[in-house]
Amino acid sequence: MDQTDKRIIEELCSNSRITMKELGERVHLTGPAAAARVEKLEDNGVIEGYSIKVNQAKLGCFTYAFINIYIEGTHHQPYLSFIRTKEGYVINNYKISGDSCYLLECRFPSNEALNQFLLELNKYANYKLSIVISK
């Protein structure tokens, strides 16, 4: 991987919908040469996929929270099974080191939905809640 590949990745991180022609112009390659490099980066697993950034508030998810999860012992499976049923709320479930076992990144349409989630969560783990005020 050289500087051109790194520049291609930067450009794609900024706008993954860029045309190969425009990408090539930005990194001083032809469109086909840029496309070949992108394909090679994909084949080598450097580029794992493409995604979009969604404004969750415009979709009705106004409460953004991080929740540290504390589980006594090694019985994590009931918690993990519960979290899999909450895909609509849970953005990411990170297994972490430190005082807590997991860090949840969540979005909720209301404080009431958050409260209901926490009531259910309390059956599987203890938690510490942080609500995002601004980004």
Query: What is the tens place of the pLDDT at every residue in 61-101?
Result: 789 999 999 998 888 999 999 999 998 899 999 999 999 99
Q: CATH number for the domain including 19?
A: 1.10.10
Please give the pLDDT value at position 73.
87
> For residue 21, what are the domain limits?
3-43
Query: Taking the mean position of all CA atoms in its chain, how far away is CA 125?
Result: 22
Q: Does 32 map to a domain?
A: yes
Residue 119 has pLDDT above 80, yes or no: yes
Tell me if the pTM is above 0.75.
no
Where do we find the tokens 């099974």? 81
42-51 pLDDT, tens digit each: 999 999 999 8
User: For 66, which DSSP code?
Assistant: E
User: For 23, phi and psi rounded to 5 degrees?
Assistant: -60, -45
Tell me: do 76 and 107 sit in the same domain: yes
Rounded Cα gap, residues 116 and 88, in angstroms: 13
Average pLDDT in the 108-125 region?
95
Q: Does 49 map to a domain?
A: no
Where do we find the tokens 């012992």? 73
Tell me: do 65 and 106 sit in the same domain: yes
Q: Does 76 map to a domain?
A: yes
Please give the pLDDT value at position 99.
92
Tell me: do 72 and 9 sit in the same domain: no
Tell me: do 60 and 123 sit in the same domain: yes
Tell me: do 26 and 79 sit in the same domain: no
Answer for the pair 63, 109: CB distance below 8 angstroms, yes or no.
Answer: yes
Total domains in the fold of the chain: 2
Q: Does 48 map to a domain?
A: no
Tell me: do 127 and 73 sit in the same domain: yes
Tell me: do 70 and 36 sit in the same domain: no
